Amino acid sequence: MKLRGGNALGIYISIPFCRSKCTYCNFASGVFLASDHARYVERVIADIAGARTWSEGRGTELPRRVDTVYLGGGTPSLLAPELVAQLFATMRAEFDLDVDAEITMECAPGQLPDATLAALVAAGVNRVSLGVQSFVDSEAHASGRLHSRAIVEADLKRLRTAGITNLNVDLIAGLAGQTFASWEESLEILIASEVPHASVYMLEVDEDSRLGREMLKGGARYRARLVPHEDAIASMYERAIERLEAAGLRQYEISNFCRPGFASRHNLRYWQRRPYLGVGLDASSMLRAPAMHCESGLVSGRDFSRARTESPLSESFAPVDSLALRATTTDDLQAYLAGTGASEIEWLTPAQQHEEAWFLGLRTNEGVDVAALRAEFGEELVDPAMETAKRMTEDGLLDFDGARARLTARGRLISNEIFQEFLQPEVAESSRRT
Ligand code: SF4
C-alpha cells in the first residue's frame, strides 16, 4: 500500500455564511441568521469529534497528525470569537496539529472585527486569504462585494500588525464592467500591497448564479451585458501572469502565484493527492484505504476493515494498492443542521486515481512526474495516457521533456478541456479524428 503525505492530514472546514451574496456565486453559501451560526458550529464540532469513528467504519486511514487546516466558505470571519475558539479547541483535542501547521482562514474585507482577529491569532491562524476580487470600488460593489480598496488596505495593515503576514488576495478577471485599464489598476494595487500570495481566477459564469440567470434570461440588475468577452478575459489572465511574475509572484498553479516559500500548503495537498478531511456543508474528504486482493477479487476499504477486524488476515489476502474514498457532505443547510443529510461516498479505484493524478498534477507548474506515475500505477494505466500527452504536446498544449508533462501557456487557457481528454481518452480520440 502506498500512502502519501508522510501520514499527515489536512482539515478543511466549510463555513457557509456570507453577509451578502455575490452576483457570480453558485457556492452552497448564503445569508443566514446569526442564530444559525452557533447551531452550525455545534454540528461541525460533533463531526470533528466523530470523524475517527466514521473513518474506522469505512476502513480508511485518518492520520492524527495534521499539517494544514483551512477554514473556507462562505465567510468564516463572520463567526463569533467564541465559536472560533470552540472549533479550534475541538480540533486540537481530536488531532495533533504540527507546531508549524499552516492554518488559513478566508476573510471578507471589512468583515473581520477586532475581537475575531484576536480569536484567530489566539487559535493559531497564521494565514489569511482575503476575497478582494477587484480593487476598483465600482466593480467590487457591482459584484455584490461590500468593501472598498481603502477597507482592503486597512485590513492588510491590521492583519500584519496582529502578526499574520502570510496573506493572500483573490482577484477575478472578467467581472461585469471590467476593462483592461481597470484590470491593470487592480494588478498594480495588488503588487503594491506586497502580499506574498495571489490567486487570479477567470470568471466562469454558472447558470445557477444570479449573474448567470441574467445572462440567459436578460435584465440589467447585475450588469450581465457588461461581462467581458471570453477572449478579453483570457487576455486579462495572461496579463496577470506577466505582471505578477515580473513583480516576483511566480505562478505555481493555474490560478495561484506566490513569492518563494509562500505556496499554499493546504491547496498543494489537493493537487498532490494527499489526504484531507472535509467537515461542514458541502465539504469533501479524500482519505486513503488499503485495498487487498483475495480469492474473489479486489476488496475495498470497508470490507477490508471488516475482514481485518473479524478474522485474522489469511494468506489469501495480500495488500496491492490503496483505494481512495471521496466523501462529500450535503449542501442542504437545514438537513446538515438536523443531522439528516447523507454524505455522498465514492470509492476511487487505482484507475480513477490515475486519471486524477493527471488532471490535478497538470494544474501545477511542476506538472506530472511520469516515472512516479509509472511506479504508482504501472504501464497498463500510464501508457494510454502518455499517448494523449504526446498528442497534446504536438498540439502545443503540453510541454513534455521526457520526465515531466506540464501545461503550456496556451494549455492553461483551456485547461478544463485538456483535463477532459485525460478523463475520457476514448472520447478524446474520436473527437480528434473528426
Ligand atoms: S463571499 Fe464567496 S461564498 Fe460568499 S457569496 Fe461571495 S463568492 Fe459566494
- pLDDT confidence of residue 220: 67
350-434 domain in CATH 2.30.30.60?
no
- pLDDT confidence of residue 146: 83
The CA distance from 254 to 238, in Å, is 11
- pLDDT confidence of residue 308: 45
Count of CA atoms in the C-beta half-sphere (13 A) of 372: 12
- pLDDT confidence of residue 341: 84
What number of other Cβ atoms are within 10 A of residue 211's Cβ?
26
- pLDDT confidence of residue 301: 54
Ligand 1 atom closest to 29 (CA) = 3
Ligand 1: does its nearest atom lie under 6 Å from the Cβ of 22? Answer: yes
The CA distance from 311 to 107, in Å, is 50
Q: Which CATH superfamily is domain 9-271 in?
A: Aldolase class I (3.20.20.70)
DSSP, collapsed to helix, strand or coil, labels residue 428 as helix
Count of CA atoms in the C-beta half-sphere (13 A) of 172: 23
What pTM value is reported for the model? 0.88
Cis bond leading into 74, ω under 30°?
yes
Which residue's alpha carbon is at the smallest distance from atom 8 of ligand 1?
25
- Phi, psi (rounded to 5 degrees) for 102: -85, 120
The CA distance from 221 to 214, in Å, is 8
The CA distance from 125 to 68, in Å, is 11
Vertex 297: Cα angle to 293 and 302 (nearest 5):
70
β-partners of residue 325 are: 287, 347
Beta strand pairing status for 344-348 and 368-369?
unpaired
- pLDDT confidence of residue 2: 40
Distance 145 CA to ligand 1 centre (A): 9
Q: Kindly give the confidence (pLDDT) of every residue in the chain, 434 residues in length, as a single tens digit, with 9 standing for 90 and above.
A: 343 446 899 999 999 999 888 888 877 677 778 788 999 999 999 999 999 999 998 889 999 999 999 999 889 999 999 999 999 999 999 999 999 999 999 999 999 999 999 999 999 999 999 999 999 999 998 887 888 999 999 999 999 999 999 999 999 999 988 999 999 999 999 999 999 999 999 988 777 777 777 777 777 677 777 778 889 999 999 999 999 999 999 999 999 999 999 999 999 999 999 999 999 999 999 998 876 554 455 555 555 545 544 443 433 444 446 678 999 999 999 999 998 888 899 988 888 899 999 999 999 999 999 999 999 989 999 999 999 999 999 999 999 998 999 999 999 999 989 998 887 544 444 333 32
Crossing angle between the packed helical segments 81-94 and 114-123, to the nearest 10 degrees: 10
Instruction: Determine what percent of the chain falls in helix, strand and coil, rounding each to the nearest 5.
Output: 45, 25, 30
Residue 188 amino acid letter:
E
The CA distance from 254 to 200, in Å, is 8
Domain extents in the chain: 9-271, 350-434
Pocket test for ligand 1, best of 26, 27, 111 (most atoms within 8 A of CB): 27
Ligand 1: does its nearest atom lie under 6 Å from the Cβ of 281? Answer: no
Pocket test for ligand 1, best of 31, 75, 333 (most atoms within 8 A of CB): 75
- Per DSSP, the residues of 336-404 read HHHT-PPPEEEEEPHHHHHHHHHHHHTTBTT-EEHHHHHHHH-HHHHHHHHHHHHHHHHTTSEEE-SSE
The set of residues, in sequence order, having a beta carbon less than 8 Å from that of 181 and lying 6+ positions away, is: none
Ligand 1: does its nearest atom lie under 6 Å from the Cβ of 72? Answer: no
The set of residues, in sequence order, having a beta carbon less than 8 Å from that of 402 and lying 6+ positions away, is: none
The CA distance from 373 to 393, in Å, is 18
